[in-house]
Structure 1
């Protein structure tokens, strides 16, 4: 046989073998360089802080640094869309939120990504509730007093949210309906701007991320009258849940989780997921998260995938119940 033909056949066979076995080979060596974690929110925000703390814990297990890449904008759609197009090799990951991976699909008519078809869930990290906060200018220290004040001032009452189509708005609207109120909704771009407007009295109540409001609660400028979780907050054990107060439909919160682009080898997904589980079980990280009013809520990829589907269905039902009109 011609030596050139033999060489060509060997080259073709080598290429086929490389294609066939590459995923396993990569997985065995994974990771051999830094991993990028895209956070679809601004630097300094709670998700960013959590990502950096998680990265420190994962370094010892994975042996490679986790580089946080903040890509905020468009309700998280910019950052998520970028990861959807990334190589499925485990070196580009996404910190997905309830907003980006369960709510946006049912509140936007068009998205630059599909949260199920374009991604593989790796692990759920944390969950958290929202808090019903009022400024000191509103003369209410409990729900009974708040409802009396709102009904007496129905012509001017308003509630703020940290964005259109967010859990904050849906919590406010469900409260509005259950209480028989007609408060005007005022959306802001994030929990911090919402809290600032509450402090200034521009809106009369809002469902906020607790850790953003707590410093102002301690100073007496804000009051937290209820939380939206299924159970009371460990940091605010005297504050009742909305469910305890008769507002069982006002159960709204959020969660963070890790995702990879669709096509990422399952052994790499499993490798990262187990490392995350170990990290979240460390006393130091658990204490850090709970101090931020975040509840460690690890789930492996199988459980997390099922949970995401349940969340999409839950928020789709909420959109219908509140007559929310999908955004363009």
Structure 2
């Protein structure tokens, strides 16, 4: 073996040891400054509110503040792309949700990021269901009455969603198919305009986040026929699930979780995972989740990664069943 080869090998070993020591040092001092948590949605939205609440609890667990940075636009792609490009040092995290980390690969033919290859899952936080909601102008109080009315008004029935390619749309498409209906899909840019048009009767039903619908249910302008969760919602125990009513495939909803850029040191990811687990046990966060009608659904990084993969596969199957066409 030549002296050059030996020197090169030694150099590589030294470089490897230096990198390992640097990573170890980072983990020991982490976090040494405030963290940034990117939310790929607008301020005031549910993901933003959850991020701020979780950030407050992480501050207690980590000893550093968590600054929420909203990067809305392009169905979340702008914010997620920014997080993917961030330095993998544990100081920039992403609040990912079902649409950005499991559904966008189905919705778009091309993405500026890879939700699996570009990120390390830290922990899943919460999940939520949707509610099949109708306006007071639709004279139905149960599924049988709703189906009868929709079939009698097939020429002017439409369902709304809070966005193209969201769980709200796919729930409607699955219901459409299973019930033998041909309702037109009307996508909205968020829950607020969807609820406004539901109340006004511009669309005849929509799959809405229960928390958003409830104030209008209480004042009589909206009515919830069923929920898409696997179990009945404790806050409205008399409302059946879609599964109970024979719509086994209409089990849809969403979730939020924390991710770090790929390449973030394993020790740092483990530190974050432990901090999130601690934060999720706080009475303040538990109370907040209940008030927002969100279900705590903590999963550590390994289980969350497997869950994310299963979600991508599930939504690909749903897209195929409903003949969903991916956007360019």
- Relative to the length of structure 1, the TM-score reads 0.94
Deviation at 1:240, TM superposition (A): 0.6
Distance 2:17 2:166 in 1: 48
Q: Deviations over 1:246-284 (max 9, x none)?
A: 111111111000000000011111111111111111222
CA-based RMSD: 1.4
Distance 2:277 2:199 in 1: 38
1:259 aligns with 2:221: no
Q: Deviations over 1:171-194 (max 9, x none)?
A: 101111111111111011111211
Deviation at 1:293, TM superposition (A): 1.1
The residue that corresponds to 2:87 in the other structure is: 87
The residue that corresponds to 1:234 in the other structure is: 234
Distance 1:77 1:133 in 2: 28
The residue that corresponds to 2:175 in the other structure is: 175
1:116 aligns with 2:95: no
Deviation at 1:56, TM superposition (A): 1.1
SS at match of 1:234: coil
Q: Is the 8 A contact 1:235 1:291 kept in 2?
A: no
SS at match of 2:240: coil
Distance 2:218 2:22 in 1: 56
Q: Is the 8 A contact 1:125 1:298 kept in 2?
A: yes
Deviation at 1:19, TM superposition (A): 3.1
1:54-73 equivalences under 5 Å are 54-73=54-73
Deviation at 1:14, TM superposition (A): 9.1
Distance 1:77 1:16 in 2: 35
1:1-328 equivalences under 5 Å are 18-328=18-328
Distance 1:228 1:15 in 2: 53
Structure 1 unpaired stretches of 5+:
1-11
Q: Is the 8 A contact 1:121 1:259 kept in 2?
A: yes
Q: Deviations over 1:86-133 (max 9, x none)?
A: 000000000000100011011210001000100000000001111101
Distance 2:264 2:281 in 1: 25
Distance 1:289 1:215 in 2: 17
Distance 1:117 1:67 in 2: 25
Distance 2:212 2:24 in 1: 44
Distance 2:37 2:252 in 1: 26
- Structure 1 runs (4+) deviating above 6 angstroms are 12-16
Q: Is the 8 A contact 1:39 1:48 kept in 2?
A: yes
SS at match of 2:61: helix
Distance 2:254 2:20 in 1: 40
Structure 2 unpaired stretches of 5+:
1-11
Distance 1:190 1:238 in 2: 27
The residue that corresponds to 2:9 in the other structure is: none
Q: Is the 8 A contact 1:188 1:194 kept in 2?
A: yes
Distance 1:131 1:40 in 2: 24
Distance 2:154 2:16 in 1: 72
The residue that corresponds to 2:6 in the other structure is: none
SS at match of 1:94: strand
